[in-house]
């Protein structure tokens, strides 16, 4: 599959995780991977290094931007921070569901207020349920945090692939964002609950976050092409 053969639907399901601390390196990677990915995920590392300037780089390249800062503080502080982030033109912002429904609601409201003040569409608040590096969460914890996301009217939830059936059952209206994606034969690194692209899409994932499976590959374009092909076949 060449870049020109990638279906828009497959590309729309793929987010590139730019987990580096150098904006020049991240920008170069974004340009290389644009044929396969529609979303650029800017995490805490890159945002801490380069700040809001980071967002404009990837918007200019043609990406939707997923700001993965996992906000978690008292509701007032989260709401004020979200208001700032909502004005930056991003499409998604993550918030820790462990902060509870009041904090999540403050984030949702802050994002909407910030976007409105800037004349922009509001970003989608994504509730981070349980980190995919965690493998021993107590029974019922995911369902509880998923309930918080619904109560706060978040637009989506970040979860592991093995939790997608619960999202479909309890909150099918939420966008399911799944990190920890690893094609067969690719090391899982610190992801405690990885899944292949085909498995995650087959179980209902709306957006797959792809990082080291591509960025650490000796052939990033080839790895991206393989993942996009798997997604296209699974849709």
Q: How far is CA 1 from CA 5, 13, 193, in A?
A: 6, 17, 28
The domain of 229 spans: 3-234
Contact call for residues 216 and 168 (beta carbons, < 8 A): no
pLDDT per residue as tens digits for the range 47-56: 999 999 999 9
pLDDT per residue as tens digits for the range 75-97: 999 999 999 999 999 999 999 99
**pLDDT score recorded for residue 182:** 85
pLDDT per residue as tens digits for the range 154-209: 999 999 998 999 999 999 999 999 998 888 755 545 445 578 999 999 999 999 99
Helix (H, G, I), strand (E, B) or coil at 183: coil
What's the pTM? Answer: 0.91
Question: Could you give the number of structural domains in the chain?
Answer: 1
Residues 31, 41, 70, 80: which is the catalytic one?
A: 70
Exposure of 166 in the CB half-sphere (CA atoms within 13 A): 18
Identify whether 70 is a catalytic site residue: yes
CA Rg, the chain, in Å? 17
Q: What is the CATH number of the domain that holds 45?
A: 3.20.20.70
**pLDDT score recorded for residue 3:** 61
């Amino acid at each position: 599959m060449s870049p020109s053969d990638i279906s828009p639907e497959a590309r729309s399901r793929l987010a590139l995780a730019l987990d580096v601390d150098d904006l020049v390196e991240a920008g170069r990677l974004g340009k290389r991977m644009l044929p396969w990915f529609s979303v650029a995920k800017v995490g805490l590392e890159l945002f801490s290094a380069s700040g809001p300037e980071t967002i404009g780089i990837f918007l200019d390249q043609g990406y939707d931007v997923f700001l993965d800062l996992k906000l978690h503080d008292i509701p007032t502080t989260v709401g004020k921070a979200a208001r700032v982030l909502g004005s930056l033109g991003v499409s998604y912002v993550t918030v820790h569901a462990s902060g509870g429904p009041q904090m999540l609601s403050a984030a949702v409201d802050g994002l909407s207020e910030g976007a409105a003040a800037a004349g922009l569409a509001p970003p989608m608040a994504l509730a981070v349920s349980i980190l995919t590096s965690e493998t021993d969460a107590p029974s019922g914890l995911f369902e509880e945090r998923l309930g918080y996301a619904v109560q706060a009217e978040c637009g989506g939830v970040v979860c592991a692939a093995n939790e997608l059936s619960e999202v479909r059952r309890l909150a099918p209206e939420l966008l399911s964002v799944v990190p920890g994606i690893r094609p067969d034969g690719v090391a899982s690194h610190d992801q405690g609950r990885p899944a292949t692209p085909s498995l995650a899409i087959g179980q209902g994932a709306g957006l797959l976050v792809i990082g080291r499976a591509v960025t650490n590959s000796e052939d990033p374009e080839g790895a991206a092409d393989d993942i996009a092909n798997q997604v296209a076949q699974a849709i």
